[in-house]
Amino acid sequence: MADTAECVECGAEVALPDDAEIGEIVDCTTCGTELEVIDTAPPVLEPAPELEEDWGE
Amino acid sequence: MTLNVGVLYSRIRKDEKLLLRELRDRGHETTKIDVRREGFNIREPPEAFDGVDIVLDRCLATSRGLYITQFLDAYGIPVINSAETAELCADKVKNSLALQRAGVPTPNTEVAFTKDSALETIEKFGYPCVLKPVIGSWGQLMAKIDSRNAAEAILEHKEQLGHYEHKVFYIQEFVEKPGRDLRVVAADGEPIAAMARSSDHWLTNAARGAETSTFELDPEVRDLVKRASDAVAGGLLGVDLMETGVNGGDPEGYTVHEVNHTVEFKALNDATDVDVPARVVDWIEGKAAETTTVEAEP
């Protein structure tokens, strides 16, 4: 069963992928907030940074 | 040869996950380095780089990658892509100049530094023409200008945006393309895979939802990709081209509008049969072997 962590915005349980990586972004399916995986053992989420102008490839 | 591959990041996208998985599956060690948590001293590298054989710059923020690749050069730590390549790709002005200098067909471009001179350039190109930020990606802040009224409004808005880079007006001819452009991911000029990106919108970035499909490379595209890669000092690159002179048949030619140095490839991986991360890691292993050989020579 996939790990879950609490959404820091709305408190809902957010499921993490089995191969979750620190630094990955997951969406809270309840409130839509983008969350950054800060730790995986145990899973910890924080609000993801806002998009900046120089982001890209 | 087992490597310790450092991966610079601030956000792990699907692209980085694919690379990390491929590297780990082959037995390589991966050292993820969150650049937001590091300080870069001019004398010695941060401890996070201890034991790293080669570094991949996968920074989402272009400005960070530009500086960190310079630091890695100073520390003598091999990095993909090099600081020189990053410098020539990150800034659209430098990118256009490099392509033009190398004789690679690229859309005509002019830079102006005031609203009035920018307007003169726009009028000279005629409508429509394109105004782009000098640094940016994913089609952000791009403007297709259809009229003088629109030009005046956009230039005024850009002047008010604050950052000095918005007062570097990068103006480009509008290229009529057949509803799609082409993305070729290449390693030192050798294509790994290619796709067409189609959209009803004038912007055909995959990041903006363009439909992707595989594209069979012809000798002309291969040649242009090699020359475009050489123009920016090589590396792992995303070369973007448009077909020109298409009137229901084959294109008369191609123009290279951009070379990207921290290329995303997840869309390409889905659009083609090529295992893109595997091919990328093949190439990284080769680069690491070259570096080791050079270092071992007396």
Q: Name the maximum alpha-carbon separation found in chain B.
A: 65
Please tell me which of the candidates B32, B136, B138 has its beta carbon nearest to residue A23. Answer: B32
Residue ranges with strand state E in chain B? 4-9, 29-34, 54-57, 79-80, 109-112, 129-132, 143-145, 169-173, 180-187, 190-198, 211-214, 236-244, 253-260
Q: What is the per-residue pLDDT across B123-135, written as a single tens digit (0 to 9) for each?
A: 999 999 999 999 9
Q: Does A50 touch chain B (CB under 8 A)?
A: no
> Would you say how long chain B is, in residues?
298
Q: Does B168 touch chain A (CB under 8 A)?
A: no
Task: Indicate if B130 and B211 belong to the same structural domain.
Answer: no
The alpha-carbon gap from B247 to the nearest alpha carbon of chain A, in Å, equals 31
What is the Cα B149 distance to its own chain's centre? 32
Whether pTM > 0.90 for this model: the answer is yes
Q: What is the per-residue pLDDT across B253-281, written as a single tens digit (0 to 9) for each?
A: 999 999 999 999 999 999 999 999 999 99
Query: Given this model, what pLDDT does residue B294 score?
Result: 58
Q: Does A49 touch chain B (CB under 8 A)?
A: yes
Q: Which of B29, B61, B89 is the last residue of a domain?
A: B89
Task: Indicate if B181 and B276 belong to the same structural domain.
Answer: yes
Would the pLDDT of A1 be above 60?
A: no
State the total domains in chain B: 3
Task: Indicate if B260 and B275 belong to the same structural domain.
Answer: yes
Q: Does B263 touch chain A (CB under 8 A)?
A: yes
Contacts with B62 from chain A: Cβ below 8 Å? 54-56
Query: Given this model, what pLDDT does residue B40 score?
Result: 98
User: Residues A8-12: what's their mean pLDDT?
Assistant: 95
Residue B297 lies in a domain: no
Task: Indicate if B163 and B182 belong to the same structural domain.
Answer: no
Would the pLDDT of B293 be above 80?
A: no
Please tell me which of the candidates B12, B60, B136 has its beta carbon nearest to residue A24. Answer: B12
Query: Given this model, what pLDDT does residue A2 score?
Result: 65
Task: Indicate if B14 and B74 belong to the same structural domain.
Answer: yes
CB contact under 8 A, A54 and B262: no
Element (DSSP H or E) covering residue A40: strand A34-40
Under DSSP, the state recorded for B174 is P
Give chain B's mean pLDDT: 94
Residue B103 lies in a domain: no
Would the pLDDT of B298 be above 60?
A: no
Q: Hey, what domains does chain A have and what are their CATH numbers? A: 4-47 (2.20.28.160)
Query: Given this model, what pLDDT does residue B286 score?
Result: 96
CB contact under 8 A, A22 and B10: no
Element (DSSP H or E) covering residue B118: helix B115-125
Task: Indicate if B167 and B182 belong to the same structural domain.
Answer: no
Residue B288 lies in a domain: no
The alpha-carbon gap from A30 to the nearest alpha carbon of chain B, in Å, equals 22
* Amino acid found at B66: L
CB contact under 8 A, A57 and B20: no
Residue B239 lies in a domain: yes
Query: Given this model, what pLDDT does residue B138 score?
Result: 87
Contacts with B138 from chain A: Cβ below 8 Å? 55-57
Residue B237: closest CA among chain A residues belongs to which residue?
A57
Q: Does A18 touch chain B (CB under 8 A)?
A: no
Structural domain that includes position B55: 4-89
